[in-house]
Amino acid sequence: MTRLEETFASLRRRGERALMPYFTAGDPSLDATRRLVVEAAKRGADVVELGIPFSDPVADGPVIQRATQRALAGGVTLPRVLEMVREVRAETAMPIVFLTYYNPILAFGLEAFCRAADGAGADGVLVADLPPEEAGPLRAQADLVGLHVSHFIAPTSTPERMKKIARATGAFIYLVSLTGVTGARSELPPDLMQHLRVLRTITTKPICVGFGIATPEHAALVGRVADGVIVGSAIVNLVRAPPGLARPRLRGRRLHRRPQSAFTRRGMPIRAHLLRWRPRQPAQRTESTPRRLPSGAASHMDPSRHPAPVAAMGSGNSLGDGAFERRFCRRNPVLWGRLPSTVEAPCDLLR
């Protein structure tokens, strides 16, 4: 019996449920993830799910997607995650299950991944975008080293489909509580308990419920029927912004301090910068230089009907009557800071 199987069997004998927190490896750093996993084991976690960052996490909601992007931006890779797990294994014997997508495993190599994961101390793997019909090659390599490959059961799965997935899965079954992506929810689906009871009549393997579990009340409700509760986005939110962390004050929906970016110049927004400029007054035509109208012009363009002076086109880089501003400024407001200093910008175009 493997470490993962022994954990679920021991919990079942004691009439207890497995608490399975999820962490995104590398968010905020690999060292922080290592310390979080070790601390979770000390605080009562039974199994830890460790997410391997991937650039296209189609099953994850905004919270875990952002955590994944932060980890990737920090240089987290699959080999570095495996090395971190090896360090964790020296401090705790708690089972660790990878949650990932098939592309990183395929790029690493099926045999190489299974051997490396087992050598690092991982106990299982969940592949979010790999159905059991296509998991044969991975399962064959994983069985050689004793690595469990578990599968997901969706709320829309039929009893026949549940039976097929239950036969193919490893140490436990991951029951998705709702249709959609990961993320904390205020309420659980009303038909979740019915799905659990149907699945319980199909298999005796441990059933763990994930997606949407956000509060102790959710965990207590699911634990009445399931063998384990998986908490993901709610924990990732805490890792990103722990309680007591000072947050920047908001004014409406904007921060008081704006970051320096392509839309700012000298630390202030482009629009505010332009408002400090004073547009040059265009030259005025005299009565001796009447405006020339194109042939077929509308009668309302007749200068005789408009006695006010008409602006003339300036010389050089001057914009004169504003025709160029109206065409250019509205399409490329950010590029004003790159124009020659002789260009005068009408402020009202950006208001």
Catalytic residues: 49, 60
Could you tell me which residues are beta bridge partners of residue 174?
152, 208
Residue partners of 336: CB distance under 8 A and separation at least 6? 270, 274, 329, 343, 345
- Reading phi first (left if > 0) and then psi (alpha if -120 to 50, else beta), residue 75 is in left
Contact yes or no for 271/350 (Cβ under 8 A):
yes
What's the rounded Cα separation, in Å, for the pair 43 and 61? 27
Which amino acid, residue 36? L
287 token code pair: 């009565």
- Here the contacts of 87-92 (C-beta below 8 Å, separation 24 or greater) are 87/34, 88/34, 88/37, 88/38, 88/121, 89/120, 89/121, 91/38, 92/37, 92/38, 92/41, 92/42
Tell which residue, 21, 87, 9, 8, has the closest CA to residue 51.
21
For 75, phi and psi rounded to 5 degrees? 85, 20
205 token code pair: 């393997």
Q: What is the 3-state secondary structure (H, E, C) of 68-93?
A: HHHHHHCCCCHHHHHHHHHHHHCCCC
What's the rounded Cα separation, in Å, for the pair 254 and 270? 16
What's the rounded Cα separation, in Å, for the pair 287 and 278? 28
128 token code pair: 């979010």
